[in-house]
Structure 1
């Protein structure tokens, strides 16, 4: 549906006079922001701690044990402190809320709370994208821009990896 809307908007832009085309392009850019890579991280995880069945679903805690991240404007390590608080819901999806810390190669410590939902493949067996909404609390200064924008994350898994981890890629909406 979103592709149809974008294609229709693009056709209208091309048919309009030049001044109207620029205005339409600005509106499209506002509604459908571009994404800019912030970093790719490899987050190491420990063995899950099963909390058990709760009124909301089955609960578990996944320790975050370290890792690394790198992007165009920042790089460093994932500190070995933090957790991913997971809830298996009745619809088969898992709600995640991870709270952990990055330390940049120049010493800044940045807190991240990253929430999302992971769902099983659809009825046709097609995988569903795993998206998150990271929120950063950086120190004032060089990295304060992280606390001033909108971000989206993707989660990937590498079953062939030698140690358990997830790959989280974070993008900033421009």
Structure 2
């Protein structure tokens, strides 16, 4: 019994001594949180939805990407036709997208965009926003800065000349100053 109490006291003392290494105050957490920097906005035109049917994961659907435009502070151009958005509505009320398509900048550079996201319906039937996790693959050169970042997108429905489309805004997660106390690596 004494041995168990001694071990418990020892573990508690270690926890108290190391807590400052692992914990951050709210001010430290805010100071080290990444900031979002706007990259560009797409207006993507879509073709007719093609139902695949019910699968073990849910109802699957594919939507052709037919074109569109994009613009931002460092790049501008159009969306090439021929991409696809693979969609899945699962029985739990969530809807996922996995899009793969190409964009072409005004100066002729082609960049691959792979964008995934999820939207869930709450218990009261309201749809949540769609946040996406895009990955860019640009050739070496003027736009290769897109290759190494962490990006977040927002997606919402739109129309172009009465036809279905989506508006996607892409943001780069930019790190702030690191906190003064870092947790030790294991």
Q: Quote the offset at 1:93 in angstroms.
A: 1.1
Q: Which runs of no fewer than 5 residues in structure 1 stay unpaired?
A: 1-5, 11-23
Cα displacement string for residues 67-120 of structure 1 (whole angstroms, at most 9, x for unaligned residues): 000000000001011000011111111111000010000111000110011223
2:83 matched to which residue of 1? 82
Q: Is 2:179 the counterpart of 1:163?
A: no
1:28 matched to which residue of 2? 30
d(CA) in 2 for partners of 1:115, 1:76: 21
Q: Quote the offset at 1:136 in angstroms.
A: 0.6
TM-score, normalised relative to structure 2: 0.75
Q: Is 2:167 the counterpart of 1:150?
A: no
d(CA) in 1 for partners of 2:108, 2:158: 29
Q: Is the alpha carbon distance of 1:78 and 1:173 closer, same or farther for their aligned partners in structure 2, counting shifts above 3 Å?
A: same
Q: Which has the larger radius of gyration?
A: 2
Q: How many residue pairs are counted as aligned between the two chains?
A: 151
d(CA) in 1 for partners of 2:60, 2:134: 21
TM-score, normalised relative to structure 1: 0.80
Q: Which runs of no fewer than 5 residues in structure 2 stay unpaired?
A: 1-23, 175-186
* RMSD after superposition: 1.9
**Higher-RCO chain (CA-CA 8 Å, sequence separation at least 6):** 2
